[in-house]
Amino acid sequence: MKTYFTFAFALSLMVACQTKKQDVQQDEPTITENMLTEKQKAEGWVLLFDGKTTNGWRNFNSNNIGAAWVVDNGALHFDNTKTEGKGDIITDAEYENFEFSIEWKIDSCGNSGIIFNVVEDPKYKYVWLTGPEMQVLDNDCHPDAKIIKHRAGDLYDLISCSTETVKPAGEWNQARIVSENGNYQFWLNGTNVVNFTMHTPEWDAMVAGSKFKDMPDFGKATKGHIALQDHGDKVWYRNIMIRVLD
């Protein structure tokens, strides 16, 4: 009798575990790469990358995009093995109030960034002279991970994430930046990790205490281009979309 009950208990436990596993698998979202759902279209989302071409992107202060930025298996990829055609890239259009969504994965020990409110002008050599950055990083390996406010998801050199949600190098992360009347939210893998308000005395004081203190036009613009950074490391971006907020 004891043997029978032991077997029955083990069998019921195994069935329960399998059911739980199936439930988890069913709960995982189905992602259609570089395409909008009907719901997203109705909400006003627009694709910024079609998964096949680099249309809509160009190098900063240029009309063209360099050869180092390629389409790789449905992702916009910076290939650091290319000897020419490097540099940060920006959207053709400028944005002010928006919700921006993107997926990224970084190479081992890699570094990149998503930069917004970028002002394009020949007097600026780099996008980060005007635009703040959401950090893209391998937190396990890159030296910047040892620096507070330089880790993945941080408002670079200004505000650290409230919690760490980044995935290891080589895995896809989902990020969002929401900009609404000077108020900003950073989301990483479904968690709101950073909140801040620009163009206030508090913002100016924070910038004055950062590495951007000697950059007079940093964080001053209320709108601009969105940039993807060439930091010399391999990085991939996909499912890049935006919707303008009224």
* Mean pLDDT computed over every residue of the chain: 90
**Structure tokens that stand for 147 in this block:** 């620096």
* Lowest-pLDDT choice from 15-19, 143-147, 179-183: 15-19
Does some domain include residue 56? yes
Predicted local confidence at residue 32, as pLDDT: 67
Does some domain include residue 225? yes
Q: Which long-range contacts (CB under 8 A, 24 or more apart) does 29-35 make?
A: 31/239, 33/74, 33/238, 33/239, 34/74, 34/238, 34/239, 34/240
Q: What is the pLDDT of residues 149-202, one digit of tens each?
A: 999 999 999 999 999 999 999 999 999 999 999 999 999 999 999 999 999 999
Domain that holds residue 153: 37-244
Does some domain include residue 26? no
Does some domain include residue 74? yes
Does the pTM surpass 0.85? The reply is yes
Does some domain include residue 7? no
Looking up residue 106, the CATH number of its domain turns out to be 2.60.120.560
Does some domain include residue 138? yes
The alpha-helical segments, DSSP class H, found in the chain are: 2-27, 38-42, 201-208
Does some domain include residue 93? yes
Domain count, the chain: 1
Does some domain include residue 227? yes
